[in-house]
Structure 1
Amino acid sequence: MSKVHLGNEEQAVNDIHDILKAYYKVAMKRFTDNVVLQVTERHLLGSNGPVRSLTSEMVGDLQDGELTDIAGENFSTSSARNDLKIKFERFQKALDVARQATI
């Protein structure tokens, strides 16, 4: 019960602590955002960055296997997509039959 009633000085210390804690949280998020932004702009998108070397001519010269390695789907994703496509076609046919039945 002795800590329930704080003096003015203790209350001011607690308030300042809370304010600094909130400021630190916001400042750290902004700092990390700035670091990520600068790294992206200077190193990845810069004049000598790897994104500049990715041209349409370079992609056009890649073999099919290389393109699959870089941007291809894995088997499970491709299989799931094909299964969903087949289900969609079946549902579309069932919807067409239901529409014909209501006419």
Structure 2
Amino acid sequence: MDSEQIRKRIWLITDGVPLSIENVTIRIDRAGKLLVIGWTNTFYLENVTKVKSFLELENLKQYFMSLKSQFEEFDSLISLNNLTTEYHITFNEGKNAIGICSEINGELNWYL
């Protein structure tokens, strides 16, 4: 997806269309929160560790910050819709996702 396509897709997030870039999905939930969801690189759930997961969460936040610096539409989307941003790392288990950790309102949460 090129830059122009991403710019157009950012505005579709408010219509319920998630934006997937690389290993990240960005969408709005029903409570009006912008969810930035990343998928762990760990292949087996039993190998997931808290330290590695929180590092992946920090990398996710940095990646989203770099997207925001490339695409000012994200800041406009957030401010115009009064959105708060949450970051989540999940484990992909086929058709299901298992929440591993998140940062919500600056607070780290561990789910396993």
Q: Do Structure 1 and Structure 2 share a fold, with TM-score over 0.5? A: no
Pick the structure with more helix per residue.
1
Q: TM-score range by the shorter chain?
A: under 0.3
Structure 1 length as normaliser, TM-score?
Answer: 0.25
Structure 2 length as normaliser, TM-score?
Answer: 0.23
Pick the structure with more strand per residue.
2
Larger Rg, first or second structure (1 or 2): 1
